């Protein structure tokens, strides 16, 4: 299982990115990270984030979670 976080700060296109904290080289600043927890894959992390933050657009990081990057 890997540790996932979500960026508090949205991208210019409006979505908040989910990152695999254990492997990502493009993490947001510490002050902009919200811990999501441990998950087996990015889809579980994105699903959890969507439940925790309804109404926000959530996307996976293209670098560490490409399977969940949709924009």
Domain ranges of the chain: 2-68
**pLDDT tens, the chain, 71 aa long:** 999 999 999 999 999 999 999 999 999 999 999 999 999 999 999 999 999 999 999 999 999 999 999 98
How confident is the model at residue 50, as a pLDDT?
98
How confident is the model at residue 71, as a pLDDT?
82
pTM of the complete model:
0.94
How confident is the model at residue 65, as a pLDDT?
97
Q: Which residues contact 2 (CB under 8 A, 6 or more apart)?
A: 20, 21, 22, 23, 38, 39, 40
What residues form DSSP beta bridges with 20? 4
């Amino acid at each position: 299982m890997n540790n996932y976080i979500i960026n508090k700060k949205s991208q210019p296109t409006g979505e908040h990115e989910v990152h695999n904290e254990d492997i990502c080289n493009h993490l947001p600043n510490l002050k902009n990270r919200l811990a999501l927890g441990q998950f087996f894959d990015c889809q579980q992390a994105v699903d959890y984030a969507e439940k925790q933050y309804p109404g926000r657009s959530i996307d996976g990081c293209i670098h560490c979670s490409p399977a969940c990057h949709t924009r």
